[in-house]
Amino acid sequence: MSANTTNNTSAVLSLRWENGNLYILDQTRLPIEIVEIRLDSIEQVWEAIQQLRVRGAPAIGVAAAYGLVVGMKPLIHLDLDKFLVRLKENAGYLNSSRPTAVNLSWALRRMQDFATVQSPQVISASQLYARLVDEAVRIHQEDRAICRAIGENGLPLIRDGMGVLTHCNAGALATSELGTATAPLYLAHERGMRFRVYSDETRPLLQGARLTTWELQRAGLDVTLICDNMAAFVMSQGLVDLCIVGCDRVAANGDAANKIGTLGVAIIAQHYNIPFYVACPSSTVDLQTATGREIVIEERAADEVLFFGARRTGPEGAKVCNPSFDVTPHELIAGFITDRGIIQPPYAESLAQHFG
């Protein structure tokens, strides 16, 4: 691993592939230190995903595809058969870094399927390796294109002088570039529009404070950090004209699961007649899940709420509720900003039509 700081360009890059090497921005050190690390072995990639140095479903998928390539590089002198066996082993190993991350297993499955299709057409492991690199780059480029399409489709919602509130980090750091919820904001900023962004800090893990506020500020956007419980206040003051959040899963009826706290933002936005949009790639729409009621909410460790870093904030032995997600019912959602356009109600029909 080698470390160097990143440049001060527009939207930050969560990862990049350069001269056959994988670099990631270490998100565990943000916003205190800005350090890019080169991952030279599959073990380092595993550790980086497991430790959330790279995070966000799309970014994890891309990192895993490149990570598999990193792991296969020392093996290109093997026989093709042995190379394929090791490819499967390495994919299984990387997939164990965060077992519940859908994009992780999706990207690794795609790389393996690609290898299976390509292997009869190549004469060496080295040649197959080169094609795997190309496939990882394609996965990366596709993710970039999806974010850009979300940004272009959401751009008409942004108007000069408005205030936009977002929650958690559905930003560039969670994807290859531009983010999902932040993509329309980055594009509007690039085009010289002036608007304010309010970033909820997003307890308990503070992705909004540590990541969203940092990446928007760094790109020159006018961003104000607030505690989650201040969203109602800023909306009551007429400072917010639009909410855009990311999404982990959209059910067939339009109910949307996202980071804990999203539901409260949606309810408060409705109270003040502020349109509430959900930005997401097509892959997030899950027509197999009929409604939000079927989405199982992961309960995380109590200590995330009881401690802050090493410092105790809640009393010893306290009961804690720590759901990682909540489900926003479709009737609170003005539209889904996707790479296939803005999807509007009635969602049962519009989602099936665009993603069926």
Catalytic residue set: 248
Residue with tokens 């094609």: 131
Interface residue with its own copies, options 20, 192, 309, 356 (CB under 8 A): 309
Residue with tokens 């909540």: 326
Phi, psi of 8 (to 5 degrees): -105, 65
Phi, psi of 156 (to 5 degrees): -60, -15
Interface residue with its own copies, options 51, 217, 282, 289 (CB under 8 A): 217
Which residues between 110 and 129 bind its own copies (CB under 8 A)? none
Burial class (CB in 10 A: 0-12, 13-18, 19+), 230: middle
Interface residue with its own copies, options 227, 290, 301, 352 (CB under 8 A): 227
CB of 69 to its own copies, least distance (A): 33
Both tokens of 299, joined, read: 């309960």
CB of 329 to its own copies, least distance (A): 8
Please check whether residue 278 is in contact with residue 328, taking contact to mean a CB–CB distance below 8 angstroms.
Answer: yes
Which residues between 318 and 337 bind its own copies (CB under 8 A)? 318-323, 326-327
- Which of 76, 230 has the CB closer to its own copies? 230
Distance in angstroms (rounded) separating the CA atoms of residues 327 and 251:
10
User: Rule CB under 8 A: is residue 226 a binding residue for its own copies?
Assistant: yes
- Residues near its own copies (CB under 8 A), total: 58
Distance in angstroms (rounded) separating the CA atoms of residues 256 and 40:
37
CB of 328 to its own copies, least distance (A): 9
CB of 121 to its own copies, least distance (A): 49
Please check whether residue 63 is in contact with residue 45, taking contact to mean a CB–CB distance below 8 angstroms.
Answer: yes
User: Rule CB under 8 A: is residue 274 a binding residue for its own copies?
Assistant: no
User: Rule CB under 8 A: is residue 233 a binding residue for its own copies?
Assistant: yes
The vertex-34 CA angle with 33 and 39, nearest 5°, equals 115
Interface residue with its own copies, options 131, 142, 264, 275 (CB under 8 A): 264
Task: Name residues whose C-beta falls within 8 Å of residue 206's C-beta, 6 or more positions apart in sequence.
Answer: none
Chain length of the chain: 356
User: Rule CB under 8 A: is residue 26 a binding residue for its own copies?
Assistant: no
- Which of 18, 316 has the CB closer to its own copies? 316
User: Rule CB under 8 A: is residue 173 a binding residue for its own copies?
Assistant: no
User: Rule CB under 8 A: is residue 161 a binding residue for its own copies?
Assistant: no
Distance in angstroms (rounded) separating the CA atoms of residues 187 and 192:
9
Region of 152 (left: φ > 0; alpha: ψ -120 to 50; beta: rest) is alpha
Question: For the chain, first and last CA: distance in Å?
Answer: 44
User: Rule CB under 8 A: is residue 210 a binding residue for its own copies?
Assistant: yes
Interface residue with its own copies, options 71, 151, 261, 335 (CB under 8 A): 261
Interface residue with its own copies, options 41, 110, 314, 354 (CB under 8 A): 314
Residues forming the site for its own copies (CB under 8 A): 30-32, 198, 200-204, 206, 209-210, 213-214, 217-218, 222-234, 236, 260-261, 263-264, 267-268, 270-271, 297, 305-306, 308-309, 311-323, 326-327
